[in-house]
Amino acid sequence: MIRSLRCRPLGPALFLVLAIGGCTRAPNAPPDFSALVARVSASVVNISASAPDAGDDESDTPAAGASSGDETPEWLRKYLQQHPQEGAPAPGASAPPAGPDEQGPNQPKSLGSGFILRPDGEILTNEHVVEGASEVVVRLSDGREFTAKVLGSDQRSDLALLKIDAQGLPAAKLGDTRKLKVGQWVVAIGSPFGFDYSVTAGIVSAKGRALDSEPYVPFIQTDAAINPGNSGGPLFDMSGEVVGVNSQIYSQTGGFMGVAFAVPIEVAAKVAKELADQGRVQRGWIGVVVQEVDRGLAKSFGLSRPRGALIARVLPDSPAQQSGLRAGDIILSYDGVGLQSSRDLPPLSGNDDPGKMVSLGVLRAGRQVVIRVQLGELPETDAEAPPPKPQPPSPGALQRMPPPSIGLTVRDAAPGNGGSREPPSGVEVLSVAPGTARAAGIVPGDVLLVIAGQTVNSVADFKRVIARLTPGQTVPVLVRRRDGPLFLALQVPAAL
């Protein structure tokens, strides 16, 4: 094949020539990963997990690919549906007949990857690879297979620690993501779609990505090709050190689309140590419900730009309540680390141990203060109560604001509107006319609790607070909705 290459001739001039091989690589050509792959591949393992027998009364875990109550990621579910021989039959499909080499009723539930963490047989992989499995089999690069014991798993980080009966294994060397830079090359090795020891390469696209599914993990984003079967496999830097555990992809098709996420190795190593030592993971907990600070809210609270984590609710009997944090406080820093987004807070607090004393830089009523909080332990389940059901309208005081106005019809909040944990308070919005309230995002059913820092317990309070607002200013409004508390930025009309 004829290629256009930039070569160095024997003379002093540089020029472009056409050559058939034999030319040195251009200075800006992609790196050669072959030596790195040869050095680290032995630390990578293949993992297969078998689903329990459908007739086993001891397990009610749904088969992978089931549609009812199934929490399997969408991309993995599509993969299992399209590969029935490697997973449970797709919904409505009949199971294929058992072949002579199949191991009885326990068919492979999922295929994934992992890597050797310690020479004595500790292996790290994703939790979703082994979740609900009756048997986990680990295959090494030399072809040996071992039945693995699950020492522990952590759903919040999607990590699981396995142990096989082997010694002297080639453990992976762990790296340091603090030295990892956006734009650097990384290499992934795993078993996408069952193709063992497939190697893909890409660059670090971003660091510290927060995902709604795992808010306590600051993910590494990469464009190295990751597909079903890569789950749990290592992400290597150019020195051959593991910097992440491949965990998720963003996809609209079920396959790779250039956006993949890996758990940083520091997070993974901490989780693995706690799983090995105590079988579970403890995380620090402040006990607040926070939201993003947008441009309107930043203006209403006197911030020069959007940043920080706005506290919408302080949970009862939490470290936050004991330390005096309030709804309306904006956490700007955590132990000296600035918060650019509300999503920065959970990984920082969750990575610290319960009992640690931390300093929070807080904006309160226009002044910056420092509040010390002793972290509690993050509860196993969500501390928030389920959202209350809508209450039918009941008689109450009504007040229609005259134009020009913020455009609200309100009444005293009905008993039970705040749920069993909170006494009735605030005013309920019955209708929203065109105006600044609608522009702020207030909708019927919202309960207004605080306006411009003033508590609203009745329609009389509402009228008094509204009358004192300065025309043209932007003020924060705390509302309670079915899905939780929320601050909105309300621009006061030029005339009320």
DSSP code at position 403:
S
Q: How far apart are CA 353 and CA 338, in angstroms?
A: 20
pTM as predicted? 0.70
Q: In whole angstroms, what separates CA 203 from the centre of its chain?
A: 21
**Fold observed for domain 39-90+105-281:** Thrombin, subunit H (2.40.10)
Burial letters for 309-331: b for 16+ Cβ neighbours within 10 Å, e otherwise?
bbbbbbbeebbbeebebebbbbb
For the chain, give the mean pLDDT. 80
Q: How far apart are CA 198 and CA 228, in angstroms?
A: 12
Name, in order, each residue with C-beta under 8 angstroms of 190's C-beta and a sequence gap of 6 or more: 44, 112, 113, 197, 198, 226, 229, 230, 231, 232, 233, 234, 246
Rg (CA), the chain: 28
3-state SS of 310-376 is EEEEECCCCHHHHHCCCCCCEEEEECCEECCCHHHHHHHHHHCCCCCEEEEEEEECCEEEEEEEECE
Q: How far apart are CA 232 and CA 110, in angstroms?
A: 12
Q: How far apart are CA 466 and CA 477, in angstroms?
A: 11
Q: Which two tokens stand for residue 168?
A: 């002297």
Architecture of the CATH domain 284-377: Roll (2.30)
**Fold observed for domain 398-491:** Pdz3 Domain (2.30.42)
Q: Which two tokens stand for residue 101?
A: 């080499």
Q: How far apart are CA 480 and CA 486, in angstroms?
A: 6
Range(s) of the chain covered by CATH 2.30.42.10? 284-377, 398-491
Mean pLDDT across 443-458: 91
DSSP code at position 228:
T
Q: How far apart are CA 420 and CA 412, in angstroms?
A: 17
DSSP assignments along 115-176, one per residue:
EE-STTSEEEE-HHHHTT-SEEEEE-TTS-EEEEEEEEEETTTTEEEEE-S--S--PPPB--
DSSP code at position 301:
H
pLDDT at 188 over 50: yes
Mean pLDDT across 428-444: 90
pLDDT at 454 over 70: yes
Please report the pLDDT score of residue 382 as a whole number.
52
Please report the pLDDT score of residue 467 as a whole number.
84
Decide: residue 384, CB within 10 A, 0-12 exposed, 13-18 middle, 19+ buried. middle
pLDDT at 246 over 80: yes
pLDDT at 153 over 90: yes
Convert the pLDDT of each residue in 250-260 to its tens digit: 877 777 889 99
Cβ pair 115, 137 in contact under 8 A: no
Cβ pair 415, 424 in contact under 8 A: yes
Range(s) of the chain covered by CATH 2.40.10.120? 39-90+105-281
Convert the pLDDT of each residue in 33-76 to its tens digit: 999 999 999 999 999 988 765 444 333 323 333 333 444 555 45
Please report the pLDDT score of residue 291 as a whole number.
93
| Closest to 262 measured CA to CA, from 162, 113, 403 | 113
The catalytic site residues sit at 128, 158, 231
Please report the pLDDT score of residue 403 as a whole number.
34
Q: How far apart are CA 209 and CA 443, in angstroms?
A: 31
Please report the pLDDT score of residue 250 as a whole number.
86
Q: How far apart are CA 190 and CA 174, in angstroms?
A: 17
